[in-house]
Amino acid sequence: MTKAMSTWAVPVIRYSAGVVEWMKAELHSIDQKTRKHKTVHKALHPRANTDRLYITRKEEGRGLLSTEDCVNIESRALGQYLKISEDKGLRSAWEEGLIKVDEDPEIYRDRRTKNRTEEWHNKPIHRQYMRQTKELASDETWQWLQMQRGEPKKETEGMLTVAQDQALRTRYVQGTIDGNNILPICRKCNMKDETTNHIASECPALAQNQYKKRHDSVTKAFQWSLCKKHQ
Ligand SMILES: [Zn+2]
């Protein structure tokens, strides 16, 4: 879906960059509407980290190109093209200030990525999972986001990323962070705090069925690849 959006939807705007004078607020509003649509279609949790959505999949993000970035990159590229052009007409367009920013589009892109990553990393709760798994994680940890090993549904990807960002409204989050009058205890086992980690791996009420099912699916995948490997 992300690829389709970048291929079919974003170019509609891309060709207007540098020619149409877009207001920052207009571009923001297009990006906002896009996120809203994603949320309506369950591809983006309403509490999900916005910056992560726009970080590349290689860098643990979800790889969507924002309209604002697209227009800014494209108009910078057009500006640099006019600036060094040997054609008189094109050069005079640069001299007359058709494009007001003089910046290498790659430098702009790197700066945006850096800012977004910093924003995401600076959120103590959103970044918790990344910090906890830093020692264990490798490039392969993030392959599932890059469609090299299976391709999760948009709903699954949205749910997994928001769970990693600890942004699901579990009872613990509702009771302690949102300040609602709710007991933070797990509604399944009534024993421990209902955190994302508890639900994912330590709830005794889920162990016998849900965790077992998950364990079996993983071993099935192992068995399948071993069978393939050894024919
Ligand atoms: Zn529990």
Write the pLDDT tens digit of every residue in 99-109. 888 999 999 99
Distance from the CA of 73 to the center of ligand 1, in angstroms?
A: 48
Distance from the CA of 209 to the center of ligand 1, in angstroms?
A: 13
pTM score, whole prediction: 0.83
Distance from the CA of 183 to the center of ligand 1, in angstroms?
A: 13
pLDDT for the residue 150: 64
Using only C-alpha atoms, what is the Rg of the chain?
A: 23
What is the mean predicted confidence (pLDDT) over 46-51? Answer: 92
Distance from the CA of 177 to the center of ligand 1, in angstroms?
A: 19
Checking phi first, is residue 104 left (phi over 0); if not, alpha (psi -120 to 50) or beta?
beta
Q: Is the pLDDT of residue 141 over 90?
A: no
Residues with CB under 5 A from ligand 1 (ion): 186, 188-189, 203
Q: Is the pLDDT of residue 196 over 80?
A: yes
Distance, in Å, from the CA atom of 190 to the CA atom of 4, rounded to the nearest integer, reads 44
Distance from the CA of 181 to the center of ligand 1, in angstroms?
A: 19
